[in-house]
Every structure is written in structure tokens, then in C-alpha cells.
Amino acid sequence: MGIRTAALSAAKQAAAPSAAKQAAAPSAARQAVAPASAKRATTPKAAVAVALVLSIAAFAGAAQAQGACRDDTIWLRGDFGQARFGIDIADTSEERARGLMFVEEMPRSRGMLFVYPDERPVSFWMRNTLIPLDIIYADGDGVVVNVAAEAVPGDETPLPSDGPAQYVLEINGGMAAAMGIGPGTQMRHPVIGPDPAWPC
């Protein structure tokens, strides 16, 4: 009895470490698998996040491109960056002759774009004009030729372009200098063409 009991006890002791290893093995396996499982779970989320960011960027870019060229808005760009003004268009001889006469005030974000059928030397004056204006002359490609800055209300002195011009933008006096608008500045508007310096 004593020998058999000792033998059984020894057998149990010999088997115990093996059982302990087997019991510990699944835990180690779970620990090894857990990071891989977590990685698989986060990968789709990361992909969705990247796709969402790209979609938002694409939408914003498309919206900006779509809104960049509108009949009621003109864009200007130069060393100062970009600027835009809401505009009224004067593209008939009657509208150009009247221009901004008798206008008592104009928001700083507004202006008037005068459109001629082709390039030509043009000259403006300030008869019956009640507010000071910057008169910005641009050629057929929409590139600014010169600026008649802070034209005086009521003054009938001719203010000519420095060369052929097809587009003339009038904005509130002093804004061109303050913003850095001058010769070489490019205009962007659907009417400018057929080979604009800054296409829509």
C-alpha cells in the first residue's frame, strides 16, 4: 500500500506541471491574438475616417470651384492673395454712361464692372458721382493695366487707362491701395475671355 500510494503521488506530481502548462496555454494564446484582433477592428474605422476626410475636402474644393465664377461676383488675385466683390454689370452703352452716378453709398464689398465689346483706350470721369472711387482698368485678358485711385466725387477731369482696356471695375475709393490691387492683378469673371489670365 505504501509503495503504491507513493507511486501514485509521484505520478500526480509529475503530471501537475504539464496540466499547469496546458491550463496556461490558452491564456497566452488569447493574449497573443488580442492585439491582432484589436488591429483588425480599428483598421476599417481608420479607413472610414480617411475616406470621410477626403470626401469633405473634395466637396469643399468642388464648392469653391463652383462658386468661383458667377455673374454677380468678381475675383481678384495678386501678391496680396485673393479678394472678391459682389458686382453689378454695365455692359451696354447706356449702363456704362450712367455707371454709379447718383449712388450715395456703396458697401465696401460691392462694386460695378464695366464691360466693353473689345479692348480700347477708355477714360472715365466723376460727373454726378457722389462717392470717391477706385477705377481699375484691365485688358482683354483681365489683367489690371492701371488704377485711377480715389477719384474725387464730381470731378470732371478725364481719368484714362494707361493702355487698351476692356474691363473696368469701380470700387470704393482707397480700397485698391489698402488691398494691394494694382498693375498685374488678375480678374476672374465669366465674361472675361476668350483667353483670360485667370480662367474660370
SS3 of residue 168 by DSSP = strand
Percentage of the chain modeled with pLDDT above 90: 66
pLDDT for 171: 99
pLDDT for 15: 38
Q: What is the pLDDT of residues 112-129, one digit of tens each?
A: 999 999 999 999 999 999
Which residues touch 70 (CB under 8 Å, ≥6 apart)? 190
Give the whole-angstrom CA distance, residue 24 versus residue 101: 93
Tell whether the torsion through CA atoms of 139, 142, 143 and 145 is positive or negative. Answer: positive
Q: What is the pLDDT of residues 128-156, one digit of tens each?
A: 999 999 999 999 999 999 999 999 999 99
Q: How confident is the model at residue 159 (pLDDT cuts 50, 70, 90)?
A: very high
pLDDT at 56 over 70: no
pLDDT at 2 over 70: no
Q: How confident is the model at residue 23 (pLDDT cuts 50, 70, 90)?
A: very low
Cis amide bond preceding 194, omega within 30: yes
pLDDT for 180: 98
What is the average pLDDT score of the chain?
Answer: 78
Give the whole-angstrom CA distance, residue 42 versus residue 48: 10
pLDDT for 117: 98
Q: If residue 37 lies in a helix (H) or strand (E), which one and from where to where?
A: helix 2-68
Boundaries of every domain in the chain? 1-68, 71-188
pLDDT at 55 over 90: no
- Select from 80, 72, 105, 195 the least CA-distant residue to 143: 195
pLDDT for 68: 65
What mean pLDDT comes out for the span 19-41?
36
What mean pLDDT comes out for the span 58-63?
37
pTM score, two decimals? 0.68
pLDDT for 108: 98
pLDDT for 144: 99
- For residues 29 and 142, which has the higher predicted lDDT (pLDDT)? 142
Superfamily of domain 71-188: Protein of unknown function DUF192 (2.60.120.1140)
What mean pLDDT comes out for the span 11-32?
37
